[in-house]
Amino acid sequence: MRWQGRRGSRNIEDRRRMGGGGIKIGGLGLVIILIVGAVLGIDVRPLLNSGIVNTSGTGGEVTAADQRAGEFVSVTLADTEEVWADIFQSQVGRAYDPVTLVLFKGATQSQCGGASAQTGPFYCPLDEKVYLDTDFFTTLEQRMGAGGDFAAAYVVAHEVAHHVQDELGILSEANAIRQRASQEQSNQISVRIELQADCYSGIWAHHAQENLGTLERGDIAEAMNAAEQIGDDTLQRNAGQRPMPDSFTHGTSDQRQRWFAKGYETGEMRACDTFSANRL
């Protein structure tokens, strides 16, 4: 993927460094602030987002590798902004509101709960932010066997795709249904959410290549390999477990690869309707 020396996103919230003059508040302190705000009828989100209160939790030295990873994420995020802005205009008929991506080291707080290296990257619809510890890229390569910069780009694109779902009202509707469903049914809906995000990731790759010309030979193979390595069945086998389909929340390796490929081949959002699909 051609990314070095290219424009980065302005929608990066970097929490990797400690300090900065803020008052460091841990998880319990954050809960107290939120409760007090609720009791007094005060919206405390501006306070939490201003830097006056530091909710970054743990941090540490930002190494040269951390800096490079942050720059890569910033460029990738900028590409998603450009691509999805065009897609929303041409396929949705309205403007795209970009997501904010939070970079952190070790642990931090989101309005959806704690974020850590163990939780992996995720999108929080309550604050409309993606949370990413770039050490996950090392885990992806060294422990999961999914190396390459485009494998990392696929991870970023997948989380941004959840924001796209949120923008379209898909995520809130699906999550509302999940809350009323049994655990098994909730998992099934979760799989459809995740596979659609994979498909949207493929759409992003399609338009990044067509409009930006940033893909290189082997990039799609890296993304397909990453999709295989993080399939529920593969993860369970690699953990020494027998795959249990009822517990799947993201889809099998084959499913994740097929839906990414469908998005990449078509470039069309209408091709990614996993909720109406009879076969995933």
pLDDT class for 25, splitting at 50, 70, 90? Answer: very low
State pLDDT tens for residues 112-165.
Answer: 999 987 788 999 999 999 999 988 888 888 888 888 899 999 999 999 999 999
* 107-110 and 113-116 strand pairing: antiparallel
Q: 213 Cβ partners below 8 Å, 6+ apart?
A: 2
Three-state DSSP class for 34? helix
Strands of 93-148, DSSP E:
100-103, 107-110, 113-116, 122-124, 129-132
Distance CA 106, CA 183 (A): 30
Q: 144 Cβ partners below 8 Å, 6+ apart?
A: 226, 229, 230, 238
pLDDT at 110: 94
Extents of the domains making up the chain: 72-97+136-272
State pLDDT tens for residues 38-70.
Answer: 444 444 444 444 443 444 445 567 888 889 999
pLDDT at 58: 55
Of 157, 173, 149, 150, nearest to 123 (Cα)? 157
The identity of residue 164, as a single letter, is V
Q: What is the pTM of this model?
A: 0.85
As a whole number, the mean pLDDT across the chain is 87
